Chains A and B, each alone.
Chain A
Amino acid sequence: MSAPEPTTHGYTPGLRITDRALIRRLRRLPLPGTIHVKVGDELRAEDLVGSTQLPGNVVNVNVAHELSITPEDVGHFLLVKEGDRVELRQVIAESKTFWGLFHSIARAPIAGTVETISDVTGQILVRGEPIQVQIDAYVDGTVVEVFGNEAVMVESRGALAQGILGVGGEAHGALRVLCDRPEQSCSAELIPEDCAGCILVGGGRVTLDALHLAREMGAAAVVTGAIDGADLDTFIGRPLGVAITGQEDLGLSLVLTEGFGDTPMRRRTFELLAERAGRRASVNGATQIRAGVIRPEVVVPEPGATWQARDEAEVRGLAAGSPVRLTRHPLFGELARIVELPEELTEIETEAEVRVACVRLDSTGEVVTVPRANMEIIEE
């Protein structure tokens, strides 16, 4: 009765949580512009590294319509030509008929430059002022490479904790730990009044009140285990349908290390951040759970460090003895070690025949059978 399973499975590579990471972040301008730093420069996260100007927005004026003339006649009444600079509300076309008794004008809707004039449609396109774009270093670190007038690579050594989902963009500030233990909910009572500019580290579920208060107090970001889905929707002002985030303008970035519900932050992440309380850190809530996955992150640079970074976790196969974390109800969050990896497909409770692993739970010592798809490898 059971249907065939795919012949291979993808595993969720564990989120990277390490005290010694070599962090390289490419800081790229959307268009070529000016790079303000050079290789070897020591930077702080807020330092400007590049700037450019994006072409301004284009707004059209239908001159033929405004002057009640045919598009072919527009040329006779224009006061500007392509490439001319115009100011806001400047008269750009004018018609007078019946010895000046009737008078119609068309004005520039924005300040900018006349881009095109069409004698087919009678419309003029005016391009607005260029839009300034600046990018900062994002993390405290050193410029190790400059890519022409477009990008720089900033390198830093330090601790790195990836989250499972974030919202809001980049932020930086001092780490401030609010919870005593990773299970503790992050409620409004824990938000201090003097947390402006800080990255607040919670434990378990963060409440909506706590997020609102943190934003009100001027905190830069909140990093915690989980949130109730409805609270997140309220916080961001829309239902989060797909996990592609980072562009929200929330005034506070949020990094969830575990997901939704009442889940404590994994102990390893909590301890890593707690040990670094008071240090400068950078946070990026941007997440993309699609092909080319991007996870949110907390980076805590260690200025002057020269140690060898730990190797980045490889997407490696599971083996007996591998430490894993279980990622699906009813054992969600349990840590375990692989005992056996049966080769053959095994029927689980749902009657699906899947690849499984027998794992020993750290909490009870019990050996249970779990689909391999429902575990992530932990770096040791």
Chain B
Amino acid sequence: MPPSEHQERDLELRSILATDCGSTTTKAILIELVDREYRLRVRGEAPTTVEAPFEDVTVGVLNAVREVEELSGRTLIRDGAIIRPQSGDVGVDAYVSTSSAGGGLQVMVVGLVRSMTAESAERAALGAGAIVMDVLALDDGRRDYERIERMRELRPDMILISGGTDGGEVRRVVEMAELVAAANPQARLGASYELPVIFAGNSAARELVTGALERATQLTVVDNLRPSMEEENLGPARGEIQELFLQHVMAQAPGYSKLIDWTDADIMPTPAAVGTLIEAVAAREGINVVGVDIGGATTDVFSVFDGTFNRTVSANLGMSYSISNVLAESGIANILRWVAAHPNPNDLSNDIRNKMVRPTTIPQQMLGLMVEQAVAREALRLAFAQHKMLASELKGVQRQRDISDAFGAGGAETLVNMMRLDLIVGSGGVLSHAPRRSQAALMMIDAFEPRGVTRLAVDSIFMMPQLGVLSTISDTAATQVFYRDCLVPLGSCIAPVGSGRAGNRCMTITLRGPGERSEVAVAVGEMKLIELPADERVEVTIEPARGFDVGEGRGRPVEATIAGGTVGLILDGRGRPLRLPGDDAQRIHAIRSWERALGVYPDSVLTQRLDEEAAGL
């Protein structure tokens, strides 16, 4: 396909350097234009240097770039700065960066009703890439002095105040603003500057809120993020949060004023950059996407359904620093249910806690790997449950109730419709660096329980943040590198919704290729794998058994085009919702059969080693 005029203009950049300054490491990637195609050349990494003794983020950036220099043989640094533009083989044409160093962007949210304006404000802050430290609302169960204490104790980077639809409640909005003023909260970074506060509430309350807050804070007023019960308008608040992040928070962080001078685009909060990329993918392909980034301390979940973007961050669900919190929240029994062995639960709990205190260690034995992957399933499951709650229809909207609402839980419906989900993209060490790609695929299937037909992919070396910020200056470069070097398609999963007796027919798949036709039957409780390379697609007819649904209703067939991947086409006959056998022996037998079918672990390990290791874990 010939490049468009816009792409031609993009192709003017011959080389791009992009960094992501994370809380522990700074990752740099070098992208080069080769034969009119942008490709990832090399990647470098170095510890982040925001804290003592360096207290200058650019030291870590230059160290990471130096590694890129060594690996690529290309000179990129001169006189302690990145050389721009490219001259011959020296320097790059553009440099961009994201940042989550120093704990990322930490925002406190204030609203009136927790499930309405406060929740809309929380969505705006999360969408801007922030960590929401707390949400204060009139109905949060706290007394005013507790709210004030909380504001003083947390020291956020900024506060977002919402409240009242336009023309609605004024007095209570001003009351909350007065509480913020009384708390006189201090900014986390930079003792001498006033805390940025954004008011995005009832437009009729602007003047009074300004009167209450302008003396004590750096106040900005933007359009109401919830102008009416039926409408959410998060764009202005999101934009202002990012603007203030750059102008105030980043400017106070050690070394960032230099970094801001170096970059050719605004520095973005890391999660905002990932969100930008995922939104772009959903828009480009016209699909519904869920993205997840499971890190050491936190798990971010992004979703785009019918063009509506949502992001949540589960601040204490992660694979190293927060691994014990996964244990605390899910319980050891929920972790152990994914392990096809009988390790001692107490020893296993201690082992998980030891990973928390030595977060950089890696599993050395197969059982250790299985346990970490079991923890990952629980972390992903919990983070996704939180996401589904926040990514919902607006609460407070008057709706026509029917009989099903009357018997249901009530409240707003989640926007996350797993049957309509097209693609899951996984990122973070436990997924991206799983020794076998099938392990990543099964972790995501078990945790997210996709329904119907869903594509699966992982981010090869976690460069979505860099590509997200890159997309703001070159959509072509970001897109090309994303599809060619970043995204690793794992394949597709077909999973009918329903339940049945184990061993009975669950579905029959008819695959049609050029001159070929084959039929595969899948029993209830069974998983099967059909090899289908990444560059291949196949037409299929899925015929679910009576009682099972793959998107068109129970027992109704579905035609689909299936994309391949490094794992292939996974046929999941376990039913939805996914229930593991209650009997321990049956559970272990079932898990081993699924792992064997997908080639998740070596056969020898599955049959012999596990119990031996469990005895001495």
Contact = CB atoms under 8 A, between A and B. Distances in A.
B379 to A, nearest CB: 12
B365 A329 contact: yes
Interface in B5-52: 23-25, 43-48, 50-52
Contact of B148 (A58, A243, A289, A332): A58
Interface string A1-20: 11111111111100000000
B435 A7 contact: no
A33 interface: no
A60 to B, nearest CB: 5
A374 B358 CA distance: 9
A7 B45 contact: yes
A314 to B, nearest CB: 11
B353 A260 contact: yes
B231 interface: no
A350 B353 contact: no
A228 B346 contact: yes
Interface stretch (A117-125, A183-191, A213-221, A298-306): A117-125
Contacts of A118: 174-175, 178, 212
B617 A329 contact: yes
Contacts of B347: 261
Interface in B152-199: 170-172, 174-175, 178-179, 181-184
Contacts of A371: 361-362, 364
A7 B43 contact: yes
Contacts of B145: 57-60
Interface residues on A, range: 35 or more
A261 B178 contact: no
Contact of B433 (A6, A59, A116, A349): A6
B297 interface: yes
Contact of A229 (B24, B316, B349): B349
Contacts of A328: 358, 361-364, 368
A11 B144 contact: no
Contact of B329 (A7, A59, A127, A241): A241
Given A1-B436, A7-B44, A243 B357 contact: yes
A115 interface: yes
Contacts, number: 201
Contact of B346 (A60, A125, A230): A230
Contacts of B602: 351
Interface string B318-347: 000110110111000000000000000011
A240 B351 contact: no
A312 B321 CA distance: 25
Contacts of A58: 144-145, 148, 182-183
Interface string B401-441: 00000000000000000000000000001001111110000
In the complex, the 5 A-B pairs of residues with the closest C-beta atoms, listed nearest first: A241-B325, A239-B328, A351-B435, A260-B350, A261-B350
9 contacts: A9-B360, A58-B183, A125-B182, A164-B358, A242-B322, A328-B358, A350-B363, A350-B366, A371-B362
Interface of B: 23-25, 43-48, 50-52, 67, 71, 101-103, 144-145, 148-149, 170-172, 174-175, 178-179, 181-184, 208, 211-212, 297, 316, 321-322, 324-325, 327-329, 346-347, 349-351, 353-354, 356-366, 368-369, 429, 432-437, 460-461, 488, 602, 616-617
Given A120-B208, A260-B357, A350-B362, 10 more contacts: A2-B436, A3-B434, A55-B184, A71-B171, A118-B174, A121-B174, A241-B329, A261-B350, A291-B103, A352-B435
Interface of A: 1-12, 55, 57-60, 71, 115-116, 118, 120-123, 125, 127, 164-165, 228-230, 239-243, 259-261, 289-292, 327-332, 348-354, 370-371, 373-374
